[in-house]
């Protein structure tokens, strides 16, 4: 099993992105799965090109993308939308409100075993929610671009997106990141068992 695990670097509102810390702290091997770790720039055009390049070069069995969202709990995203509607700029100062792929479908569904992932997270008493809106920022952009690339290149890669919550100011950052790492390990273990 080959798994592409991606996160994002900083952007204007988040100078220290927990998804970057999780990707950088994740092992290269887990339960027989080879983990290809990559931190994407939080820049629309760069991240889109890079996720397509990685998918085409690695042809992974699974692509698991991580990002950061508002405070709360971990979110399993079900849907990528063909739009950008966030007025905030990316890390290069660019804001996008147009279609990601003008000729592409309106939405793509995650192709990960979300029910099995949810059951495993519950069994480990890890708080999470299921969301059908990955937002209008670079997270949704990469989720959609990844699914679109997989379809266009005829890849068999299963793909999904998980939003980590922002690090809470009332807890040490290292403790928060360790909790996030534990949650992502649970998810990867499920993916490694999935047929």
Whether the CB-CB separation of 46 and 138 falls below 8 Å is answered with: no
Residue 151 annotated to the active site: no
Catalytic residue among 52, 65, 163, 176: 163
Residue 48 annotated to the active site: no
- Reading the chain (195 residues) residue by residue, the pLDDT tens digits are 999 999 999 998 888 899 999 999 999 999 899 999 999 999 999 999 999 999 999 999 999 999 999 888 999 999 999 998 776 899 999 998 899 999 999 999 999 999 999 999 999 999 999 999 999 899 999 999 999 999 999 999 999 999 999 988 888 889 999 999 999 999 999 999 887
Catalytic residue among 139, 141, 148, 159: 139
Q: 143, 148, 162, 160: which is closest to 75 by C-alpha? A: 162
CA distances, 157 to each of 67, 84, 94, 191 (Å): 19, 24, 30, 12
Other Cβ atoms less than 10 A from the Cβ of 57: the count is 10
Question: Tokens 């709990």 identify what position?
Answer: 73
The full set of domains in the chain, from first to last, is 2-193 (3.40.630.20)
Pairwise CA distance, residues 98 & 62, whole Å: 28
Catalytic residue among 52, 77, 91, 176: 77
Pairwise CA distance, residues 165 & 75, whole Å: 8
pTM for this predicted structure? 0.96
Residue 139 annotated to the active site: yes
Supply 74's token pair: 């971990």
């Amino acid at each position: 099993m080959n798994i592409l695990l991606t996160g994002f670097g900083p952007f204007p509102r988040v100078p220290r992105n927990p998804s970057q810390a999780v990707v950088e702290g994740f092992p290269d091997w887990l339960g027989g799965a080879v983990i290809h770790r990559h931190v994407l720039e939080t820049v629309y055009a760069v991240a889109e090109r890079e996720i397509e390049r990685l998918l085409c070069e690695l042809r992974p069995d699974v692509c698991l993308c991580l990002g950061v969202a508002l405070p709360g709990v971990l979110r399993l995203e079900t849907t990528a939308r063909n739009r950008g509607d966030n007025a905030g700029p990316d890390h290069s100062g660019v804001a996008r409100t147009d279609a990601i792929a003008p000729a592409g479908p309106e939405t793509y569904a995650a192709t990960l075993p979300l029910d099995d992932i949810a059951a495993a997270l519950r069994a480990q008493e890890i708080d999470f929610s299921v969301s059908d809106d990955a937002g209008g920022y670079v997270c949704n952009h990469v989720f959609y671009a990844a699914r679109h690339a997989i379809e266009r290149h005829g890849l068999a890669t299963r793909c999904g997106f998980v939003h980590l919550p922002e690090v809470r100011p009332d807890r040490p950052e290292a403790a928060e990141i360790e909790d996030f790492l534990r949650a992502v390990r649970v998810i990867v273990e499920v993916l490694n068992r999935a047929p």
